[in-house]
Structure 1
Amino acid sequence: MDIEPFALERFFAEHEAGADLMLAESGVRSLSAARFDTAPGELGYVVPTAGDPDFRAAVGSLHDRSAVETLFTCGTQEANFLAFLGTVESHAVVVTPTYGSLTAVPRSLGEVTEVPLGEDWRLDPDAVVEALRPETDLVVLNNPNNPTGRYHDESAVRAVYDACADNDTYLLCDEVYRLLADEPIPPVAGFGEYGLSTAGVSKPFGLAGLRFGWLCGPESVVERAERWKDYTTISPPKIGQHVARQAFDEREELLAESRALAADHRAVVADFLDERGLAWSNPDCGVNALVEVPDGFPDGETFCRQFVAEESVVLAPGEAFGLPGRFRIGYGLPLAELEAGLGRLGNFLERHR
C-alpha cells in the first residue's frame, strides 16, 4: 500500500501553527469543553470496541440502520479509511473536487476514475454512470461537497445510487456536513443494500477535538471495516464517545446554533467577495467555498503562500483539490476571527491590485 502525500494537510502543517489566523478551517467554531460533562469514569477501552450498542442503535436509526450496521470511529476520516479497506479491490469512481483522502486512499488500493462536478459545481449522475465498469467496487461522493459548499439534491444522488445498485457497486457518501443543511436529504445508508454513509461530530457540532465519527451501511461491509479497525485504533475514544452522546442528545439546539452561524457568516463572505469582484462557488450548505485567484497571481499556491507570509493568515490552495486557479476559504470560525481575517485579506488585495 503506497499512498501519496496529503497535500492539504501538509500545507496546513507547514503554516498553521505559526499563523495568527486560520481562514481555511473547514468546520464550525469549536465549542467549549465546559459545556459538557467530560468525566467518563475510568479511561479504559470502549467495550465493545465498535462502540456503545445503545448509542450505535441511536445513530444507526437515523440512517435506517441497526447497531450492528453502525461502527464508531476516530473521526469521519477513519470511517472513510475503513470503508475503503472494506470495499475497494479493483476500481473506484470518485466525484471531484473533493477532500484529498477520498481520492488518495482508494487510489492506494486500486484504480480510480475521477468524475468532475458539472456546470455550477453540480453533480452529473450521467457522468458517474458512464464511469462505472463491471468491476467497479465503490463510488465515492462527498455531499455537501468540500471544497465547493454545494449540496447535491436527493434526485441526483438517488440516480447515482440506483446505477450503483444495478452494477453491484457500493455508494459511499461522506456526509460530514449534512446536518448543517436546513432540510437534510436522507442519508445514503438508508437508500438500500448498497448505501454507505460516514459522518461525525467534528464539522456540524464544532467538536473536532473529540475525534468521533461513524460508518453506517450493510452489515457485511461494517464487519469487514471492524476487522480492519482492530489494526488501527481498536476502539473509539472513551471521552469522545462520552461527550458525543451528550451532543447527540442536544443536537437540535446545537445544530440550530451551527446553521445560524453558517448562514450569517456566508453572507459576510459573500458581501466581501462581491465588493472586490471575486467569483466563488456560491455555496448552499456547509462552511467552505472555492474562490477564484485574483489577477496578478499565477496560481492558488503562490497566492496562499504570499498571503500567509505577509498577513499571517492561512487559506487553502486550490492545488490541494486539483484546481490551481482557486483557493478555499472557510467561514465557520468565530465572527471576530472571520472579520479580522477578511480585513487582512482586504489589505493584501489592495496592496497587490
Structure 2
Amino acid sequence: MEIAPFDLERWFAEVEPDADIMLAESGVRPLPADRFDTDPGELGYVIPTAGDPEFRADVGALHDRTADETLFTCGTQEANLLAFLALADAHAVVVTPTYGSLTALPDAVGEVTEVPLEEPEWTLDPDTVAEAVRPETDLVVVNNPNNPTGRAHDEATMRAVYDVCEDNGTYLLCDEVYRMLAADPTPPVASFGRYGVSTGGFSKAFGLAGLRFGWLCGSAAVVAAAENWKDYTTISPPKFGQHVARQAFERREELLAENRELAAEHRSVVVDFLEERDLSWSDPDCGVNAFVEVPEGFAGGRSFCRSLVEEASVVLAPGEAFGRPEYFRIGYGLHREELEEGLSRVGSFLDRHA
C-alpha cells in the first residue's frame, strides 16, 4: 500500500518549529494540565484494550450506541484510519475540501471520487453525493463541521446523505471532531442507523490534543472490524489519555461552554481584521477554522504563506494542502494575545506588499 505525503503536516513540520506564532492551529488552545488529576496510577496498557467499558458506554450513549459499539483510539486520526482499514476497499466518495487524511487514506486502499462543497456558502448537496455513489461504493466520507472552512451541515442535509448511503448499502463515515463546539450540535451520524459511523475525540473541541484520545462509534460489526485492525496499530488507547479524558468528559458542559465562548470572541476579532483588510472568507459557523482568500499579488496560498512565515514568522496553512490554492486556512483558537499579535504581523506584512 502506498500513500501520498501528508502535505499539511509536512508543511507544519518544515515551518512551525522555528516560527514565533502558529496561526493555523486547527483546535482550541490547549488547557493546562493542572486543571486535572494527572496521576493514572501504573502506566500499563488500558484493559480491556478497546477502552474502559463504563467510559465507552458513556461516550457511546451520546451517539445512541452501546459500549460494544464504541472503540477508544489514539486520537481521531487513528479512529479514521481504523474505519478506512475496516470498511474501505473498492471505492469511496469524499466531500472536499477536507482534512488531508480523509482523502489520502481511502485513496491508498481503493479509488476516490471527490464531491466539492458548493461555494461561496460551502454547502453540501446530497444529490451530488448520490450522483457520485456507485454500486460498489464502500464509504461516503464527510467532515462535519468542516475543516478547513468551519462550516457545519445541518441535520436535514446529513440525514439526506445518510439515506443515499443506506439505499446503496454504503457506510457514511463522519469525522465529527468539532461537533461539540456547536452551541446546538447536530445529531451524530452514528445515531442515524446501521450505516452511520462517527469518529471524534478530545483534541479540537476540548483543547486536549496532547491526550491523543479519540473514539469510533458504529455498529458492533464495524467496531469489531476496526478493533481487529487496532491490534496491529496501537493495541490500546493511552492510559494517561483515558485518565484525563474521563475527567474532561465528566466536566464537558463547563469546558465546552468555556471553549465556545473563546471561539465566538476570537471569531469577532478575525472578522474585524478581515473587514478592515477587505478580505473574504468562508464565514464559519462552528469551530475555530476558516478559509480566507489569498490577497492579490500572490501566486497562491503556498506563495503567500511562505512569504509570510519568512518575513513575519507567522504560520498559516496553504490552501494547496486542501486542494484549493486560492485560499489559506487560519485558525483562531489559540490564546488571545497570540491571535492579536499574529494578526498584527499579518497586517503589517500586507501593508508592505500592498
TM-score, with normalisation over the residues of structure 1? 1.00
Spell out the pairing of 1:1-353 with structure 2 (5 A cutoff). Answer: 1-119=1-119, 120-353=121-354
Distance 2:143 2:296 in 1: 30
Gaps of 5+ in 1: none
1:245-304 Cα shifts (integer Å, max 9, x gaps): 000000000000000000000010011001110000000000000000001101000000
- The code of the aligned residue for 1:250 comes to R
Q: State the distance in 1 between where 2:197 and 2:141 align.
A: 10
| SS of equivalent to 2:204 | helix
Q: Give, in whole Å, the separation in 2 of the partners of 1:236 and 1:118.
A: 37
Superposition RMSD in Å: 0.4
SS at match of 2:98: coil
**Superposed CA offset, 1:195-223 (max 9, x none):** 00000000011000000000000111110
CA offsets, 1:158-194, max 9 Å, x none? Answer: 0000110010000000000000000001000000000
Code of the aligned partner of 1:204: A
The one-letter code sitting in structure 2 at the alignment partner of 1:224 is: A
* Cα drift, residue 118 of structure 1: 1.3
User: Cα deviation per residue 1:23-80 (whole Å; 9 max; x = unaligned)?
Assistant: 0000001000000001000000000000000000000000000000000000000000
- Superimposed CA distance per residue, residues 134-161 of structure 1 (whole angstroms, 9 cap, x where no aligned partner): 0000000000000000000110110000
What letter is aligned with 1:126?
A: D
Matches of 1:218 and 1:91, distance apart in 2: 20
CA separation in 2, counterparts of 1:107 and 1:219? 25
How many residues align? The count is: 353
Secondary structure in structure 2 of the residue aligned to 1:205: coil
Structure-2 separation of matches of 1:123 and 1:152: 7
SS at match of 2:272: helix
* Residue type at the aligned position of 2:235: I
The amino acid across from 1:118 in the alignment is E
Letter of the aligned partner of 1:150 in structure 2?
R
Q: Given residue 136 of structure 1, which amino acid in structure 2 is its aligned partner?
A: T
Query: Structure 1: which 4+ aligned runs deviate by more than 2 Å?
Result: none
Deviations, residues 75-133 of structure 1 (Å, cap 9, x unaligned):
00000000000000100000000000000000001000000001310111110010000
TM score, norm. by length of structure 2? 0.99
Distance in 2 between the 1:16 and 1:68 partners? 40
* 3-state SS in 2 of match to 1:246: helix
Q: Distance in 2 between matches of 1:222 and 1:118?
A: 33
Instruction: Determine what percentage of the aligned residue pairs are the same residue.
Output: 74
